[in-house]
Chain A
């Protein structure tokens, strides 16, 4: 079991460019979560999927951010027209069976730097 895989580990973009972050959940896990981590705000929930369906995107900035889960083996977080304030570590987590209260397993994160 390789755990949750996130690629790339580091990404540097120029202001105004697009960034796409990838997450491969643990095989068999039905829920995928995205969080953002910054020094100032700490860990913030962004969005999550259950069985590939979007359930809650209340933490997503309304503009420029979008997330998808086209199949059970990966999810993407896309940020259009990146801004310096988007610089953060983006963490993906997956959970075996959220109805049973199973814990979330986190990937190593993608560090996004917007110049």
Chain B
């Protein structure tokens, strides 16, 4: 069964600093990979996705992620964080091909950006 691990439950960074949120997946096939963000009392919003091609994908608000197949990782990065980036970030994976399109999520990483 597929699984997603986000090893850092909480990350705190200073405003203006760079950010990396880690994500590793366990899956025997080719995955579709996603990063979602959840602000308080809101649903999930898609930041970026990887389906194929260039392993570095760009998302909204300056976020990017790199798919490293050999490491089964899909880490999220941002060069300079803003206080408004404080939220919970979820990495998710789904089947490529086949007939089941449900998402499997990691436990999430709570990002706190300090002044």
Interface residues of A (CB under 8 A from B): 4, 31, 33, 35, 42-43, 45, 48, 55-56, 59, 91, 93, 95, 98, 101, 103-109
Contacts and interface: CB of A to CB of B under 8 A. Distances in A.
Given A43-B90, A101-B51, A103-B49, A108 B43 contact: yes
Interface stretch (B13-21, B68-76, B78-86, B96-104): B96-104
A45 B104 contact: yes
Contacts of A104: 46, 103
Contacts of B96: 101
B44 A95 contact: no
B49 A98 contact: no
B102 A42 contact: no
B42 A108 contact: yes
Given A31-B101, A48-B102, A56-B100, A42 B107 contact: yes
Nearest to A41: B107
7 contacts: A33-B102, A35-B103, A43-B105, A43-B108, A45-B102, A103-B46, A106-B45
